[in-house]
Amino acid sequence: MRERSGTEAEAEMTPDAAPLARHIARLIEETGPIPLSHYMALALGHPEHGYYMTRDPLGARGDFITAPEISQMFGELIGLWLAEAWTAQGAPAPFMLAELGPGRGTLMADALRAMRAVPGMTDAAEIHFVETSPVLREAQRERVPRATWHERIDTLPAGPFFLIANEFFDALPVVQYQRTERGWCERYVGLAEDRLVPVLAPVPLADDTSLPPAIRAAPTGAIAEISPASPAIAQAIATRIAAQGGAALIVDYGHARSAPGDTLQALRGHQYADPFDTPGEADLTAHVDFEALVRAVRAGGAAAHGPVEQGRFLTALGIEARAAALRLRATATQARDIDAGLRRLTAPGEMGSLFKVLGIVPRGTPAPAGFV
């Protein structure tokens, strides 16, 4: 689970600085300040020093924990949701079962276990992972050895398309603009006394139509934050579902309506950190704009359901009944863990309200489970 940091301290560049920090500093010295989106892409995906290229970030020894690692119930219920969607569309065989950013493969392993209750489903499933991290690919291979791996979503094969994206969109690079007396100026990353710091472009946007309507009239000092890749990917998913059938679930933390605000955050060792300190050594994310995703899904020709809060969604799918069933066979310690997982996944003060769920199905089909 990742939450907003709000930290804006500046990082001092020293000879001991992380290799990627030194690389970015040299790049800025040679070419000038770089866009925030470029900085994020380097921090997370640099082929040698990028955060996701060099480590398994999950769990107690990592920097954060996600819902599948908190409780098996999460992946099991996602699997049953996909099973119901697959059955409702005539149980196509074969079909593509895809996941974007599958972490350690825990969610898919739990989902497949639940799907075994549906005759023929796991045999018909062709599993595909979109993953760039070599470290995480190895972890995924241990749990789901029959998967096929891809670098990008556009290389997924044609056919009926059932997809999961849990905490994928929050890691896509964002572009930020700040409202000034001169207009909206893009935020870059520059150097100040050998420190990486946010700076403003000297020339404002000539046209602010790329910003959501709800943001354009924000007051001076406001931050507009958009993720160009997010709606593009959501629309691509919707286009495939509209043309070939299928369903998708997007689960992430963010806001249901487009709004101004700086949500860029960094996590290191389960603690909030400065996003501009030690790039490549901390996770960088931003809140997902679900309203932008909904617009993209509709533009792609599919039906968007939600977003609904994760707690409401999981409760509608029967997570409390599943927890009760697990307790029947649990030790006292295991029962406490089950209760803790249930609370963390569904309680408003935990992941229950911050995280949202968006469902995508072909137009004209009934509302899927959890969205009725």
In this structure, the answer to whether residues 158 and 273 fall within a common structural domain is yes
| Closest C-alpha among 291, 299, 292, 288 to residue 235 | 299
Taking the C-alpha atoms of residue 96 and residue 98, their distance in angstroms, rounded to an integer, is 6
Domain that holds residue 71: 67-171+231-362
**What are 201-218's pLDDT values in tens digits?**
999 998 888 899 889 989
Residue 332: other Cβ atoms inside 10 A = 8
Chain position carrying tokens 């409401």: 312
Would you give the DSSP letter of residue 120? T
Same domain (yes/no): 212, 240: no
pLDDT in tens, 32-43: 999 999 999 999
Residues 77, 70 contacting (CB under 8 angstroms): no
Amino acid 17: pLDDT: 57
The pLDDT assigned to 82 comes to 98
Q: Which of 161, 191, 226 is the last residue of a domain?
A: 226
Does 3 fall in a domain?
no
Q: Which residues of the chain have pLDDT under 50?
A: 1-12, 14-15
Residue 298 lies in a domain: yes
CATH number for 358: 3.40.50.12710
Average pLDDT, the chain: 93
Same domain, 162 and 292: yes
DSSP strands (E only) in the chain? 11-12, 34-35, 95-100, 125-130, 148-150, 161-166, 175-180, 183-192, 195-200, 223-226, 246-255, 265-268, 271-273, 283-285, 288-289, 302-309, 355-362
Is there a single domain that holds both residue 235 and residue 107?
yes
Q: Distance between CA atoms of 165 and 143, rounded to whole angstroms?
A: 18
d(CA 129, CA 146): 10
Q: What is the pLDDT of residue 354?
A: 95
- Domain-embedded: residue 54: no
Q: What is the pLDDT of residue 8?
A: 32
* 62 within some domain: no
What is the distance between the alpha carbons of residues 166 and 257, in angstroms, rounded to a whole number? 19
Q: Is residue 57 part of a domain?
A: no
Do 130 and 143 lie in one domain? The reply is yes
**Rounded Cα gap, residues 36 and 29, in angstroms:** 16
Q: What is the pLDDT of residue 350?
A: 95
Report residue 287 as tokens: 């809140």
237 and 137 together in one domain: yes
Residues 265 and 308 in one domain: yes
Domain-ending residue, one of 184, 205, 226? 226
Residues 193 and 240 occupy one common structural domain: no
Q: What pLDDT does 16 receive? A: 52
Q: Is residue 55 part of a domain?
A: no
Q: CB-based burial of residue 331 (10 Å sphere; 0-12 exposed, 13-18 middle, 19+ buried)?
A: exposed
Q: In what order do the strands lie in the sheet with 271-273?
A: 271-273, 265-268, 283-285
Q: Are residues 163 and 268 in the same domain?
A: yes
Q: Are residues 130 and 253 located together in one domain of the fold?
A: yes
Task: State the total domains in the chain.
Answer: 2
Same domain, yes or no: 239 and 107? yes
In 3D space, the residue among 28, 43, 16, 19 whose CA is nearest the CA of residue 273 turns out to be 43
In a domain, 273, yes or no: yes
Asked whether residue 303 is assigned to any structural domain, the reply reads yes
Please tell me the predicted confidence (pLDDT) of residue 64. Answer: 83
- What lies within 8 Å, CB to CB, of 278 at 6+ separation is 11, 17, 18, 21, 268
Domain boundary among 226, 252, 269: 226
